[in-house]
Amino acid sequence: SLNPPHGGVLKDLHARDAPIRAQLLAESEQIPDIRLTERQLCDLELIMNGGFSPLEGFMGKEDYESCVETLRLADGSLFPMPITLDVSQAQIEALKLAQGVRVTLRDARDESPLAILTVSSIYQPNKSNEAEKVFGADDKAHPAVTYLHSSVKDFYVGGTVQAVNAPEHYDYVELRYTPRELRAYFEKLSWNRVVAFQTRNPMHRAHRELTVRAARQQRANVLVHPVVGLTKPGDVDHFTRVRVYEAIIRTYPKGMAALALLPLAMRMGGPREAVWHAIIRKNFGATHFIVGRDHAGPGKNSQGKDFYGPYDAQELVTQFKDELAIEMVPFQAMSYIPEQDIYQPVDEIPKGTVTADISGTELRRRLKTGAPIPDWFSYEQVVKVLRESYPPKASQGFTILLSGYVNSGANAIAKALESQFQQQAGRSTSLLLGDTIRSELSAELGFAPEERHRNLQRVAFVAAELSRAGAAVIATPIAPYDASRKSAKAHIIQNGGAGGGNFFLVHVATPLEYCEKTDRRGVYARARAGEIKGFTGIDDKYEVPEDADLVVDLSKQTVRSAAHMIILLLESAGLL
Ligand code: PPS
């Protein structure tokens, strides 16, 4: 039969509170409420469905202190990760939080009531101590420590919760199983021995081989149980990863493996996190749990050293093995042996054998350049999914900002580029000409510094949206201010594409006299005559960019040659 939950009883609060749910729902509308952060939401979901058994709420002062200092709750049961609900002083006052007070915990996305918390204690954590004890160092290079100091509010409120609604999910609903559902699934298939595999990364053949191997060694089935809550900043997004897992699950021997998604907010807490992960998998019914080398590792600390030793996690899980009652299976690093076309555990490969590996860095490089990713490393379907989410440079969108005086020729260059891009199939091209933006997006704005700034940030917003969708964007506002250009650039890099948007600043450095001399519309004449006030170059500044990727000048070169220089710039960046 299946592995009993941690502490013996599955704390399925939805089932427990079902008989009084209508009453709780009615009460939830009458009492003060707290809107949960993303992380609190993940935690609450697992508190309510029993994934965090034996917890029945957020930790009160005693449990918290005991957990931080001893990895145990106040009653002695093993639970290594503090699960806390942080609030501000202002919230405490506004909600009149005090022992015995009941508050509704709401989903911030749709305001729906999820649970009612009965406050047992309100306390101020020592964050530095929490960082030291739980994560090993009060070092901001650790993502959870940064989170603790910069996002976590100053007080914790502890208390048990009563379940009203599970948080709603709209993605991959069919792959989300509660502990109760997963247990029923295992029961139905007579899966009495289940090896759970934790992951926050795309899976390739080596992962498939090591889990198959673990399953065969243990005569067990495999549960691929990836985290889709919060993982390490910079990870591949879970939408992409789940498509990868769906592809990889089909490569397992028939009937061996199942895929279920875990809405966990990881802390990257290494050894403590590994013990926590084991507890969670036990609650979901697994009997075995694969613990990786540097399991849930946060990377390097501010001294450039790893936060935890490579085997610390495995050692800590082993140390608690009797209490955990879920068997630790050490992750066996696998290497490919081309000669035999098989994967073997690295520690079983005889010295001198030729092996092949592709590192994470090398994989990212190949995705970027579109270089082939061999079948022995991954599966065609997996690579296809990754390439869709991380298109090679040649199919990524980009933004070119042509900045310069009025009548610098930026528009002519933009139109020349548009023709050249249209000649090459593949991307759609968007021209954001200065006057189009002014009439379509910024009609109410004038030319005061703040308004010019706003105008450029709107350009950046639109450009980033289009670039992310794969378009070639050419924008030609004057963009006279350095700080405004820099924030536009930052926005586009941040939002203009999966691996970072592509942005180029081209300074159209046609001199003012030349722009003025060739101005057939007479705008400069009107500015000189004082009919237009605060005109760029006349009585408003143009800050020459120090950070242009390219400088062109139509007093010295033709539109064709300027456009060609831009084409060569894009070509050298791999975009054409
Ligand atoms: S900015 O600084 O980037 O917001 O300027 P931009 O949006 O490119 O607007 C330039 C067009 O507005 C006309 N115009 C002025 N330009 C500069 N300064 C002032 N005070 C000003 N007032 C109006 C300018 O002639 C540009 O029009 P087009 O038709 O594009 O040449």
Which residues lie below 8 Å from residue 479, measured CB to CB, with a gap of 6+?
A: 401, 403, 452, 456, 459, 485, 488
Residue-wise pLDDT for 167-198, tens only, equals: 999 999 999 999 999 999 999 999 999 999 99
Query: Which residue has the CA at smallest separation from atom 4 of ligand 1?
Result: 452
CB-defined site of ligand 1, < 6 Å: 406, 434-435, 438, 447, 452, 455-456, 477-480, 523, 532, 534-536, 540
Q: Taking residues 27-38, report their average pLDDT.
A: 97
* Band of pLDDT at residue 377, cut at 50, 70 and 90: very high
pLDDT at 499: 80
Answer whether 137's CB lies under 8 Å from 145's CB. yes
Round to whole Å and give the CA distance between 113 and 119: 17
Is this prediction's pTM over 0.90?
no
CA–centroid distance, 478 to ligand 1, in Å, is: 7
Report the mean per-residue pLDDT for the chain.
96
Query: Which residue has the CA at smallest separation from atom 21 of ligand 1?
Result: 535
* Band of pLDDT at residue 424, cut at 50, 70 and 90: confident
Q: Decide if pLDDT at 368 tops 80.
A: yes
pLDDT at 333: 85
Report which of 417, 401, 497 is spatially closest to residue 456, judged by C-alpha positions.
Answer: 401
Round to whole Å and give the CA distance between 540 and 533: 9
* Band of pLDDT at residue 361, cut at 50, 70 and 90: confident
Q: Decide if pLDDT at 372 tops 90.
A: yes
Query: Which residue has the CA at smallest separation from atom 19 of ligand 1?
Result: 535
Residue-wise pLDDT for 76-135, tens only, equals: 999 999 999 999 999 999 999 999 999 999 999 999 999 999 999 999 999 999 999 999
Q: How many CB atoms lie within 10 A of CB 22?
A: 10
pLDDT at 17: 98
| Residue 481 alpha carbon, nearest atom of ligand 1 | 2
pLDDT at 127: 98
Residue-wise pLDDT for 259-277, tens only, equals: 999 999 999 999 999 999 9
Catalytic residue among 39, 106, 176, 200: 200
Element (H, E) at 46: helix 38-49
pLDDT at 360: 86
pLDDT at 233: 86
Query: Which residue has the CA at smallest separation from atom 26 of ligand 1?
Result: 406
State the complex-level ipTM. Answer: 0.93
| Residue 406 alpha carbon, nearest atom of ligand 1 | 31
Q: How many CB atoms lie within 10 A of CB 327?
A: 18
* Band of pLDDT at residue 142, cut at 50, 70 and 90: very high
* Ligand 1 site-directed mutation target among 406, 487, 507, most atoms within 8 Å of CB: 406
Catalytic residue among 3, 37, 84, 199: 199
CA–centroid distance, 569 to ligand 1, in Å, is: 27
∠ CA 166-171-173, nearest 5°, is: 60
CA–centroid distance, 427 to ligand 1, in Å, is: 29
Catalytic residue among 165, 201, 251, 301: 201
Q: Are strands 398-403 and 429-433 parallel, antiparallel or unpaired?
A: unpaired
* Ligand 1 site-directed mutation target among 403, 435, 459, 533, most atoms within 8 Å of CB: 435
Round to whole Å and give the CA distance between 490 and 485: 9
Which residues lie below 8 Å from residue 444, measured CB to CB, with a gap of 6+?
A: none
| Residue 446 alpha carbon, nearest atom of ligand 1 | 22
Query: Which residue has the CA at smallest separation from atom 12 of ligand 1?
Result: 435
pLDDT at 2: 83
Query: Which residue has the CA at smallest separation from atom 8 of ligand 1?
Result: 477
Query: Which residue has the CA at smallest separation from atom 31 of ligand 1?
Result: 406
CA–centroid distance, 407 to ligand 1, in Å, is: 10
281: annotated active-site residue: no
CA–centroid distance, 288 to ligand 1, in Å, is: 67
Q: Taking residues 463-489, report their average pLDDT.
A: 97
Query: Which residue has the CA at smallest separation from atom 29 of ligand 1?
Result: 435
Round to whole Å and give the CA distance between 285 and 501: 43
CA–centroid distance, 457 to ligand 1, in Å, is: 15
pLDDT at 98: 97
| Residue 434 alpha carbon, nearest atom of ligand 1 | 8
CA–centroid distance, 536 to ligand 1, in Å, is: 8
| Residue 403 alpha carbon, nearest atom of ligand 1 | 3
Query: Which residue has the CA at smallest separation from atom 15 of ligand 1?
Result: 535
3-state secondary structure labels for all residues of 503-550? EEEEEECCCHHHHHHCCCCCHHHHHHCCCCCCCECCCECCCCCCCCCE
| Residue 407 alpha carbon, nearest atom of ligand 1 | 31
Q: Can you tell me which residue has the tokens 């957990």? A: 67
* Cα–Cα separations (whole angstroms), residue 149 to 82, 132, 235: 15, 12, 21
CA–centroid distance, 546 to ligand 1, in Å, is: 22
CA–centroid distance, 456 to ligand 1, in Å, is: 12
Percent of the chain whose predicted confidence (pLDDT) is above 90: 94
